[in-house]
Amino acid sequence: MTHNLVAPATPSPDFEPDVELELTARVEAVSLLPGQATQLWRYVGSVLYGDASAFSYLENSHIPVIRARQGQKFRIHFRNQLPEESIVHWHGLHMVQRMDGHPMYAIAAGASFVYEFTVENRAGTYWFHPHPHERTGHQVYHGLSGLFLVTDDNEQQLQLPTGEFDLPLIIQDRTFDASNQLVYLPGPRPRNVWMQGFTGETVLVNGARGYSRNLRRSAYRLRLFNASNASNYMLRWSHGAAMTVIGTDGGLLEQPVQRTHLTMAPAERLDIWVDLSGLPAGQEISLLAESFSPSLLNVTASQTGEPLVQGARPIARFMLDAEQDNVSALPQQLSVFPSVSLVEAINHTSPRTVLLSMMQGQVMLNGRIYGAMDEYADDEIVRAGTTEVWEFANNSVVGMQMSHPMHIHNVSFKVIERIPAVGESSLAQQMRAGFVDEGLKDVVQVLPGERVRLLMKFEQHAGIYLYHCHILEHEDLGMMRNFMIRAALDSKPVATVAGAGSSARIELGTSADNWLSLTDELQAPGNCQIMAAIQPETAHLGRPANIIVVVGPDGGNTLLAVNNLGQLQPINTDDVQVFRSISSLQARHEFLLFDGMMDIGDRGTYDLFIGYTPDASRRAEDIIYNTAPLRLSVK
Ligand code: C2O
Ligand code: CU
Ligand code: CU
């Protein structure tokens, strides 16, 4: 596996954080069970600057919680004190490629990485976990995951339960040996064992076996989160109340919905609201769980813990206090989703289909596994600013089938259609009844034989992101792929270009903000000399590259390129002309200048893209464009 040799990010002087945190991953003994402490891989952290409540731990737990407000700028100094490489991914958050915790950015033991990002997401229950390739399952299992809770103005106005009444419940299955140490799968071989995913002997809530707690007779927001590596749960209340759901992976629902039980695949979050004010003091209620392996084998009875109640295991017990609060009604309008409509989708009649399959000891996406860190196929390219329909099809005709919780980075989606397997089992039907497809999501359970269609809009960030199965053993086996979000083609021109007569000199600035800042127009067709600055994507630092200029005249479909003589030539998409080749792309904050003559023969408007290819490839689709096109107007 080749890694890009990327220097860890360092703080940038022009980024002014609202919150600055330190987050260290290290091995530490934590007392989880009576008796000997357990060696955990855990995150410890502290607030270096800003709101002191931005970093904390769940009560009586090692599990960290980062709290943020939409719009806040975070700088997080991640220090890897594990015995192996790691990197932190902010699951569900939308951010630039370099900060997303892609495995290509994994840092060595002892190294650090500085994250700088703005919290763009709406209020919701997001989380973070390691993402080094082939080690994610191992690291998460041994204790590395935390919550990233975002609030926003809309949520604040709703006056939902906060403080002690906003209680996360993190569900994870684990196996302990006789000396209280965690037992994980050996491996990753034999592959057939690994492919079944890890199922633990006991279900923990917030790191505790037999979780129990007193609650006031009041209203609570419980943030249910299945942080298990591979197991699925069906959850219900012991006292028979319906589950009132107010949020999913991507934040608050528009309206609350009710279910008799909830089905949660790995990595899924469901926020529920519960009013305990009408129950008698001293009553005990439990959250009951039935556990299922990825092949939907019910493993509840074989797990340990509290005695079973109607086939389900109480995993969290709550004793109701005498104190009773007046509970105001749950608002019926919780939020409004950002508008995304099916008619906007560029492919609403022909979804981008990803076939989930398992063959010869391998789990695959469209017959492929994870390859090089920055590899993606032609059918794994999308455009920023576009809306698409994706279909995860778990109906492969060859190989065995399991359920696969599919996750996509950097986007929230709506589940728009499920096409169940013909003759689906009654268990699968029961699981389906516990899905909450009304919400915005970033993980979706795809049952055996099922096809699930999703609607999503790729916003502004361009770059390489992941989509994968969130059964961590499947992800580590390679059931993961990159997809490329190309910069928007229709983005507003940043500037037009100065110049007059037949030979204009165009100077582009040398910082990211001003490098396309000139505003005049060319007065006549002719030659112009171009000097340009290129900001390489971090992933391509240190690699050889070709610098390319592509100009598209308005109204035409033909892309034009500048050849080595500085003349425009029509090109077809797999025959891009190289303008200049350089031996290696420099540091991210340095720009590579080149200059050359362009001959623009016709009046009109041209969109000028300045880009580069990170290798010898000359396919247009491999060009990484620096930014929005520069518009040239030739009068
Ligand atoms: Cu939790 Cu790649 O994701
Ligand atoms: Cu993710
Ligand atoms: Cu899977």
- CA–centroid distance, 391 to ligand 1, in Å, is 19
The single-letter DSSP state of residue 491 is P
Q: Is residue 514 scored above 70 in pLDDT?
A: no
Whether 89 lines ligand 1, by a CB cut-off of 6 Å, is yes
3-state secondary structure of 23: strand
Higher pLDDT, residue 463 or 198: 198
Q: Name every residue whose Cβ is closer than 8 Å to that of residue 622 and which is 6 or more positions away in sequence.
A: 613, 614, 615
Whether 443 lines ligand 1, by a CB cut-off of 6 Å, is no
91 CA closest ligand 1 atom index: 1
What integer pLDDT is reported at residue 396 of this predicted model? 83
Q: Which amino acid is at 289?
A: A
131 CA closest ligand 1 atom index: 2
Kindly report, residue by residue over 22-76, the tens digit of the pLDDT.
Answer: 999 999 999 999 999 999 999 999 999 999 999 999 999 999 999 999 999 999 9
466 CA closest ligand 1 atom index: 2
CA atoms within 13 A of residue 524's CA, in its CB half-sphere:
5
Q: Is residue 499 scored above 50 in pLDDT?
A: no
d(CA 551, CA 598): 10
Length of the chain in terms of residues written: 635
Q: Name every residue whose Cβ is closer than 8 Å to that of residue 59 and which is 6 or more positions away in sequence.
A: 206
Q: Name every residue whose Cβ is closer than 8 Å to that of residue 70 and which is 6 or more positions away in sequence.
A: 119, 120, 121, 122, 123, 150, 151, 152, 153
Kindly report, residue by residue over 271-322, the tens digit of the pLDDT.
Answer: 999 999 999 999 999 999 999 999 999 999 999 999 999 999 999 999 999 9
Radius of gyration of the chain (CA): 26
3-state secondary structure of 477: helix
Whether 142 lines ligand 1, by a CB cut-off of 6 Å, is no
Q: How far apart are the first and last CA of the chain?
A: 52
Least confident stretch, 167-181, 226-240, 445-459, 590-604: 590-604
The single-letter DSSP state of residue 578 is P
Q: Is residue 431 scored above 70 in pLDDT?
A: yes
Instruction: Name the residue among 276, 292, 162 with its Cα closest to residue 235.
Output: 292
The ligand that comes nearest to the alpha carbon of residue 404 is 3
Q: Which pTM does this prediction carry?
A: 0.81
Q: Report the pLDDT averaged over residues 155-168.
A: 97
Residue 438: pLDDT band by 50, 70, 90 thresholds?
Answer: very high
3-state secondary structure of 472: helix
Residue 607: pLDDT band by 50, 70, 90 thresholds?
Answer: low
What integer pLDDT is reported at residue 593 of this predicted model? 46
Kindly report, residue by residue over 545-569, the tens digit of the pLDDT.
Answer: 766 666 655 544 445 555 545 555 5
- CA–centroid distance, 574 to ligand 2, in Å, is 32
What integer pLDDT is reported at residue 481 of this predicted model? 98
- CA–centroid distance, 469 to ligand 1, in Å, is 9
Distance, C-alpha 430 to centroid of its chain: 28
Kindly report, residue by residue over 439-481, the tens digit of the pLDDT.
Answer: 999 999 999 999 999 999 998 787 789 999 999 999 999 999 9
- Burial class for 247, CB neighbours closer than 10 Å (0-12, 13-18, 19+): buried
What integer pLDDT is reported at residue 11 of this predicted model? 82
Q: Which amino acid is at 514?
A: N
Both tokens of residue 120? 């763009």
Name the closest-CA residue to atom 3, ligand 1.
91
Both tokens of residue 537? 């994507």
Average pLDDT, the chain: 84
The segment with the largest mean pLDDT, out of 135-144, 182-191, 484-493, is 135-144
Kindly report, residue by residue over 199-208, the tens digit of the pLDDT.
Answer: 999 999 999 9
Residue that is written with structure tokens 């359970």 in the block: 445
What integer pLDDT is reported at residue 608 of this predicted model? 62
What integer pLDDT is reported at residue 572 of this predicted model? 52
Q: Is residue 502 scored above 90 in pLDDT?
A: no
Bridge partners of residue 534, in order along the sequence = 592
- Burial class for 189, CB neighbours closer than 10 Å (0-12, 13-18, 19+): exposed
Both tokens of residue 46? 């502290």
- CA–centroid distance, 94 to ligand 2, in Å, is 9
Whether 457 lines ligand 1, by a CB cut-off of 6 Å, is no
